[in-house]
Amino acid sequence: RPRVLSGIQPTADSFHLGNYLGALRQWVAMQDDHDAYYCIVDLHAITVEHDPAELARRTRVAAAQLLGLGLDPARCTLFAQSHVPEHARLSWVLECITGFGEAGRMTQFKDKSSKEGADRTTVGLFTYPVLMAADILLYQADRVPVGEDQRQHLELTRNLAQRFNHRFGETFQVPEPYIPPHTAKIYDLQEPTAKMSKSASSPSGIVELLDPPKTSAKKIRSAVTDNEREIRYDPEAKPGIANLLTINAAMTDRTIAEVEAEYAGRGYGDLKKDLGEIVAGFAEPFAEKVNGYLADPAELDRVLAKGATRAREVSGATLAAVHERIGFLPPA
Ligand code: ATP
Ligand code: MG
């Protein structure tokens, strides 16, 4: 079975529709026919200023959401990145084969650091993509389900794998990105040319999976659209409407053409109202499941502990091979 690895940051109280449609839905589907490793990337979460108590709480909320979406610890390995020390250790080795200029070309770093300003930008934010490469390469992943925003980081990961293999001998599987064709980039409701993001979107621009249905419906009703009246899929001219059509189609498992046909001759208000109901239909049972998991934090911790033990079997073997290839003496 092909191996899959992906991660998500515990940087908010809820995942959003972009996380779900761009990545997490694929995580759930892929556990059926892949050897799947999924990771809550708390090491990545501290690359920006954070509150320790919040991080701990959000890590459990992240685990509860992943289980609530359908990850099954019997069919996939779910763990917290900080429980598996090989991630930080491989990251160091990879940093030492990454060019400074090469890392400097990562657009996510350029975007995030320009917003933070130089004094608030950490070195960890700069080396974030290398840590991400370590996350993936440790598990010899064949596929990495992510949104469009991670394409460049995946390309770096592939380059680092190939470079290491070339210099030190075949060690890493070179992974392929698995980016969904229609939902790779879900847009901010208030700014439909920018990606919906936990850290960059305003609260009214993002639909959180754990928002009360009324809140989501209200945000969707206020979504920025355009001055025309016609509902048609035209991302260039009508990015707001295109985004709503994309979300509707994905949430109802239809093609965009089918959704367009449903709304031929109807108004933006109908499209928004229906989407609010579609999201509510998803969010209500989801919130119930998540609350169920959160009611037993000790069990969540046990799931993560078991996942970390399994993850270390694979990551430990990869790291040992890496250390041997680069000339580190074996520990006695
Ligand atoms: P941040 O803004 O803090 O980076 P984020 O919303 O991008 O948070 P991440 O934890 O960085 O969330 O990403 C988790 C996964 O969700 C990644 O695979 C990423 O590509 C995907 N993703 C994030 N935002 C979107 C989006 N708007 N559309 C599609 N996929 C997305
Ligand atoms: Mg992100």
pLDDT for position 115: 86
Alpha carbon nearest to ligand 1 atom 23, residue: 19
The one-letter code for the residue type at 317 is A
Helix axes 151-168, 123-138, angle to 10 degrees: 70
By the 8 A CB rule, do 91 and 134 touch?
yes
- For residue 14, which of 302, 212, 178, 179 has the smallest C-alpha distance? 212
The predicted model scores a pTM of 0.97
Strand arrangement, sheet containing 76-80: 76-80, 35-40, 3-8, 143-145, 176-178
User: From ligand 2's centre to the CA of 197, what distance in Å?
Assistant: 7
Structure tokens at 103: 């890392």
Q: Is 70 annotated as a binding residue?
A: no
d(CA 321, CA 173): 13
By the 8 A CB rule, do 45 and 199 touch?
no
pLDDT for position 116: 82
The partner residues of 79 in beta bridges, in order of sequence, read 39
Mean pLDDT for the chain?
97
d(CA 206, CA 220): 9
Q: What is the widest separation between alpha-carbon atoms in the chain? A: 75
Query: Among residues 110, 115, 185, 195, which one is catalytic?
Result: 195
pLDDT tens profile 125-139: 999 999 999 999 999
Testing ligand 1's pocket by substitution, the residue of 8, 19, 108, 113 carrying the most ligand atoms inside 8 A of its CB is 19
Query: Among residues 185, 198, 219, 238, which one is catalytic?
Result: 198
Ligand 1 pocket (Cβ < 6 Å) reads 8-9, 11, 18-19, 22-23, 146-147, 149-150, 184-186, 195-200
Ligand at shortest distance from the CA of 16? 1
d(CA 111, CA 113): 6
Testing ligand 1's pocket by substitution, the residue of 55, 154, 197, 209 carrying the most ligand atoms inside 8 A of its CB is 197
Give every residue of the chain whose pLDDT is below 70, as ranges. none
Provide DSSP, 48-82: S---HHHHHHHHHHHHHHHHHHT--TTTEEEEEGG
The one-letter code for the residue type at 235 is P
pLDDT for position 87: 98
Provide DSSP, 198-257: TTTS-GGG--BTTS-HHHHHHHHHT----S-------TTT-HHHHHHHHHHHHHTT--HH
